[in-house]
Structure 1
Amino acid sequence: MTDKVSEAEFLQGLIPQLRSEGYEVYLHPTAPVVPPFLADLRPDAIAIGKGKKLVIELVTSESTQQKKTRALANLIKEHPDWELRVLVVTSASRGNELQVQSREQIQNFLDEIKLLQDSNHVSAAFILGWATFEAIARRLMTATFEKPQTPGRIVQQLAQEGYVTPSEGDFLRILAAKRNALIHGNLHDLPQKGEVEFFREISERLAAESAAA
């Protein structure tokens, strides 16, 4: 199974949830569905509902599309009736085998998270933050995190090894609960910008430690 098929299946899986929220979903849209202000950029999907419109872009841990995501974020921030949702897709081509990401790849995603924060796409930054956090943890403790992990176990193991302080561990457990609720459709207890900023600061520090290891 290829990454492309995996992304197609991921998009198809979004449709029922978005429709239940009142959105009409367009996969790989073209004009006139794609708004003119996006110019030549073509997002993976667009969802249009009453009073709200979503631009949906998929990324993977190995994505080379950071520039596209940044460009979308910069364009959309000028249009408050539109929202960018960046969704992380795990490659289906490797099964449970996960590759340790390079320091450069991780830094690219940390930079993208900051851009999303600065563009007020806080929830998108938060979800991308967890994907990056797991990638950092895998660089720090490769044998422990060689397979996909739950956020709670990542925090527990990092805390046990002293990579995060007890207070940081408590904070990350609260964020892990918010992450789990958000990805399962609970849109009421969303992360705050300050929380995402502190989360990124912790990730930046751990990324620096992983580079030195």
Structure 2
Amino acid sequence: MTAPARSWPEEAEREFLAGLRAQYVDQGFTFVVDPRPDDLPAFLGSYRPDAIAKKPGANIAIEVKQRPSPATEWSLTRIRRLFEGHPDWQLVVTYIGSDPLKTLTIPVSSTADIRRRAEEVRTLEIHGQQQAAFVMAWSLLEAALHRIESEKGARPRTPGTVVQTLAMLGYIDPALEQRVRPLIDLRNRIVHGDLHAEPSPYDVHLVLSAVEQALANDAS
């Protein structure tokens, strides 16, 4: 008797986790899909992440979701509470999605160039050019990811993928990821023509802080 075909969500999740495995293994992690109870710390109780990644000094539980939604965020709030008080473990939430930007290749910039451009962003912000500074800060965050991955002819990423990947690999911490992620919608509105969407100086500084944290962790 043949096994039933996998549903599309199951197949998409399986392929997505295979891609994650490759990224984590490249960073020196061991990667386990559907971990057993004895692979997990006792404080997680009955919760089972979709995968875990481990290397000396880093333990990551990975939760895969189809897309952000209020119901998803409510369930994640409860899961995140399990990790409070356990700094040796980190929860990373990843969302399955497609990247439509497949035809461009982007040269990798040096850390010095990214930091020099960050100073230009700060100058723009000081002079009240908030939209330009904000969009450029997001560009630098993607440049930081390309720098970390050291790809030749790197592919463009969506802003959500940039933030997710940096957090997944441990280059920005979960608290910063949660503060930056809500700014994606504001960034998208600006680049797609919303002339009334105005970021605050704090928004600009928050994205730049993610750039600097990513570069600093890459150098450590």
- TM-score by structure 1 length? 0.51
Q: 2:77 aligns with which of 70, 80, 84?
A: 70
Q: Answer yes or no: is 1:7 the counterpart of 2:13.
A: yes
**Structure index of larger Rg:** 2
Partner of 2:182: 200
Unaligned stretches of 5+ in structure 2?
Answer: 1-6, 103-127, 150-165, 195-220
Partner of 1:41: 47
Contact 1:24-1:47 within 8 A present in 2 as well: yes
Q: Answer yes or no: is 1:57 the counterpart of 2:68.
A: no
* Residue-pair matches, total: 139
Determine the C-alpha separation between the residues in 1 that align with 2:82 and 2:12. 28
Contact 1:29-1:42 within 8 A present in 2 as well: yes
Q: Answer yes or no: is 1:168 the counterpart of 2:150.
A: no
Partner of 1:26: 32
1:8 CA drift (Å): 0.8
1:52 CA drift (Å): 0.9
- TM-score by structure 2 length? 0.49
Identical-residue share of aligned pairs (%)? 27
1:49 CA drift (Å): 0.8
Note the alpha carbon deviations across 1:162-193, whole angstroms, 9 max, x for none: xxx95134213312431464388546974897
CA RMSD of aligned residues (A): 3.9
Task: Supply the AA of the counterpart residue of 2:141.
Answer: K
- Residue aligned with 2:39, SS: coil
Determine the C-alpha separation between the residues in 2 that align with 1:26 and 1:192. 21
Determine the C-alpha separation between the residues in 1 that align with 2:30 and 2:181. 33
Q: CA 1:14 to 1:70, structure 2 compared with 1: closer, same or farther past 3 Å?
A: same
Determine the C-alpha separation between the residues in 1 that align with 2:173 and 2:139. 10
In terms of mean alpha carbon deviation, does 175-184 or 78-87 score higher? 175-184
1:5 CA drift (Å): 0.7
Unaligned stretches of 5+ in structure 1?
Answer: 97-147, 151-164
Determine the C-alpha separation between the residues in 2 that align with 1:192 and 1:42. 19
Determine the C-alpha separation between the residues in 1 that align with 2:131 and 2:182. 12
